[in-house]
Structure 1
């Protein structure tokens, strides 16, 4: 199991995050190439080794090539740039989630509609690169979970487009609502709105407990040379021994009782749920009040896809409410191999427990295809695969 852990003892900003990710192992050339897929000109990424208070790390700066021509964009402009790019769907989804968190906060601070928010900071090229870059780096790392310590906000005041503001800035304060924070370590803005939104969008769990071995420590260097080292520390936690054991992940179970919907619509909803990333979804016959027969729709998903799942259930069903429960999911370590029989190739999923192979399950779609092509039963194909494995 691999976990990315943010140790935000001195706060976090967009550029500190990029530096930390590169120091952790994300290839800088890959990051630059992926950012070029935004198809916008006027910036480039500079990466160098730097130090703060004796701590060495990576300083990543998004350099604006012609600041006088810099545009300030609204949310829809940013969404168009991201959606029209050739970035992966996972990167687009995470980047837009971060942008939207900031837009919602700014809209609430200024009491305006979200699409009327004029992005003074996050609509600029450097913030677009910081936010999209954060999504690119997370996708590159392929971790199973993201965790973070309480967020250090800092103290004093900060100068922004609207004047002098208290720390945390109003938008930052809204973004971190409900998250564990600390304040007062330094007399400046330790966590920016961009840094706060990256954590709010990407972190699965906030905790001071680290239970897995630290495989690597990395540092992203900030702009300040303060008494407290202006760095973002990140850890890569990697437990190789768990690869043959049980993996435990955070999951969310969403349930809704439905008694007034056309049964033909359930297939459509289930397909939509799986396409959006639900790990499982099922229907259970139940009896509701007044002895009415009904169906309970259950969806199992990761914390990051909860809102998308809720949108599908509310939009495409007659449900008026959803129950939500945070649970832990325990999964056997699995791998997929390919087995060659005289009829063709069949994929096989194998599961392990404590280093021992427990089960081998031929892929049903492959077996069905070979059974139909050769005019034999499904059982015969499965038996051939099992015999090949045991032989």
Structure 2
């Protein structure tokens, strides 16, 4: 199992992340070509070898070609740019997840809705390139898991839209809630909102202890020159013990018994839970005391999302109590491919055990879309895909 590990001993920013992943092996020309699929002009990516305190790595800089004409965009404008591009679907999903985290943080700080957010961190071209670029790089590396150390936030003060504030900036503080952090190593902002959001959106596990062999190390070079090298270090790890293709991680299971809610409301609750990052959510009919029929709502999630999902349950259902369990998850190694058919492209998820393919499953939404567009049955679409696997 191949693992990407972020060693954020000196923090992380969007450009440091791009530099580190290019240094790790992402093809720079491929990244530039994929960014062109956004169909927006006014920026280009400059990549070079650089050093900080004798450490050599890759420096990636998004250069804005006309600063005066650069416009700030609302979240919906960014969503339109990403969704209308020809980027792979998983790249779009990851990029929009990062944008949404930043927008949600800024909305809370300013006490406005996410769609009303109108600010540099989401709208500027450099942030668009940094965030979409991060999603492109992650897709290129094809790792099975992403891990990270505690995030170094830095110290001192930072100038932002709210004036001069102590580090971390207000948006960063919101984004890293329930995430392991450190502070005070340097007297400047070590982690930006963009850098924090990239980690929170893509990392599967935060830990300062790694036991897997390191197969490659790379560095992304930052803009500062201080006593602590302004670099982002990343490792590729190889989990040789996971020969059976089973990945184990810790998760949180939330449960609530509900017997007094309009059944039509459950669909909305489940939708909100999935949008907020729940790994899974489901309903089970049960019988409670005095033979009352009820529904057990269950939610599976990462530990750092538990408080957010409990708030959704309490706010959008009639639940007045939630049970919480810490459990282990065992998951087969999975990969997603796109199969081109006579009807159009379909994403297929493949699962492996002990080095062998054990299951292939076409994405239902893709099959449904093609069936409707071509006036054929779902079975015909699925049969066509199976013949090509």
Taking structure 1 as the reference length, the TM-score comes to 0.74
* Conserved 8 A contact 1:334-1:351: no
* Conserved 8 A contact 2:255-2:296: yes
In structure 2, how many angstroms separate the alpha carbons of the residues matched to 1:162 and 1:279? 35
* Conserved 8 A contact 1:14-1:194: yes
Deviates more, 1:101-110 or 1:296-305: 296-305
Cα offset, 1:350, TM superposition: 7.3
1:54 aligns with 2:54: yes
Aligned to 2:168, the other structure's residue is in SS state coil
Match of 2:8 in 1: 8
- RMSD across aligned C-alpha pairs, in angstroms? 4.1
Match of 2:100 in 1: 100
* Conserved 8 A contact 1:243-1:333: no
Match of 1:199 in 2: 199
Cα offset, 1:85, TM superposition: 1.8
In structure 2, how many angstroms separate the alpha carbons of the residues matched to 1:250 and 1:160? 37
Cα offset, 1:218, TM superposition: 0.9
Cα offset, 1:123, TM superposition: 1.1
Match of 1:383 in 2: none
* Conserved 8 A contact 1:256-1:319: no
Cα offset, 1:252, TM superposition: 4.7
* Conserved 8 A contact 1:259-1:292: yes
Aligned to 2:112, the other structure's residue is in SS state coil
* Conserved 8 A contact 2:269-2:317: no
Match of 1:70 in 2: 70
Deviates more, 1:294-303 or 1:59-68: 294-303
Cα offset, 1:110, TM superposition: 2.7
* Conserved 8 A contact 2:144-2:333: no
Cα offset, 1:246, TM superposition: 4.1
1:242 aligns with 2:242: yes
In structure 2, how many angstroms separate the alpha carbons of the residues matched to 1:272 and 1:71? 31
In structure 2, how many angstroms separate the alpha carbons of the residues matched to 1:295 and 1:112? 34
Once the two structures are superposed, the pairs formed by residues 96-245 of structure 1 within 5 Å of their partners are 96-244=96-244
Deviates more, 1:84-93 or 1:214-223: 84-93
Match of 1:377 in 2: none
Larger radius of gyration: 1
Match of 1:379 in 2: none
Aligned to 2:242, the other structure's residue is in SS state helix
In structure 2, how many angstroms separate the alpha carbons of the residues matched to 1:93 and 1:331? 21
Count of residues in correspondence between the two structures: 348
In structure 2, how many angstroms separate the alpha carbons of the residues matched to 1:38 and 1:101? 20
Cα offset, 1:137, TM superposition: 1.6
* Conserved 8 A contact 2:15-2:130: yes
Distance 1:123 1:268, change over 3 A: closer
Distance 1:312 1:32, change over 3 A: farther
Q: Deviations over 1:63-114 (max 9, x none)?
A: 1111111111122222221222222332222222222222222223233333
Cα offset, 1:158, TM superposition: 2.4
Deviates more, 1:87-96 or 1:254-263: 254-263
In structure 2, how many angstroms separate the alpha carbons of the residues matched to 1:40 and 1:231? 29
Aligned to 1:48, the other structure's residue is in SS state strand
Distance 1:330 1:37, change over 3 A: same
Match of 1:373 in 2: none
Aligned to 1:243, the other structure's residue is in SS state coil
In structure 1, how many angstroms separate the alpha carbons of the residues matched to 2:14 and 2:262? 47
In structure 1, how many angstroms separate the alpha carbons of the residues matched to 2:270 and 2:160? 46
Aligned to 2:33, the other structure's residue is in SS state helix
Match of 1:338 in 2: none
Aligned to 1:105, the other structure's residue is in SS state helix
In structure 1, how many angstroms separate the alpha carbons of the residues matched to 2:179 and 2:207? 11
In structure 1, how many angstroms separate the alpha carbons of the residues matched to 2:20 and 2:83? 26
Q: Which runs of 5+ in 2 are unaligned?
A: 336-349, 363-389
In structure 1, how many angstroms separate the alpha carbons of the residues matched to 2:334 and 2:104? 40
In structure 2, how many angstroms separate the alpha carbons of the residues matched to 1:73 and 1:254? 37
Cα offset, 1:256, TM superposition: 4.8
Match of 1:81 in 2: 81
Distance 1:159 1:279, change over 3 A: closer
Taking structure 2 as the reference length, the TM-score comes to 0.74
Q: Deviations over 1:200-219 (max 9, x none)?
A: 22222221110211121111
Aligned to 1:41, the other structure's residue is in SS state coil
